[in-house]
Amino acid sequence: MDLALRIGATSDEVKQALSGPLSLIDLVWARLEALPDRWLLIVDNADDPSVLVQPGALVRDGNGIVRGSHRGTLLLTSRVTALNTWGSSSGSRKIRPRRAR
């Protein structure tokens, strides 16, 4: 909700998204795509993909938090490495822990 308001959604739009056919996630994405500048959205520790979508939906369908964009970039960190979980527009980079010196 805070993100929606910070990127230009009105309180009325947020209330409607919380109770109507347009979800809060859809509202945030509509506002992100309308921003004039490029943006970076970071979702850290997304180890339970089911919390990123509406109940019964799949992340790879691209209608939850994880979506493709021409205006910005979504950077998501997770221990879930199966690319079919994230969808066809996703890429993966394995990051290893740094060794202590």
Q: What is the largest CA-CA distance in the chain?
A: 54
Q: Rounded to the nearest 10 degrees, what angle do helices 24-34 and 11-19 cross at?
A: 140
Query: pLDDT digit string (tens) for 17-65?
Result: 999 877 899 999 999 999 999 999 999 999 999 999 988 899 999 888 9
Strand partners, 74: 41
Q: 10 pLDDT band (50/70/90 cuts)? A: very high
Supply the pTM of this predicted model.
0.80
Domain residue spans of the chain: 1-36, 37-88
Does residue 3 surpass a pLDDT of 80?
Answer: yes
Q: How confident is the model over 4-22, as a mean pLDDT?
A: 90
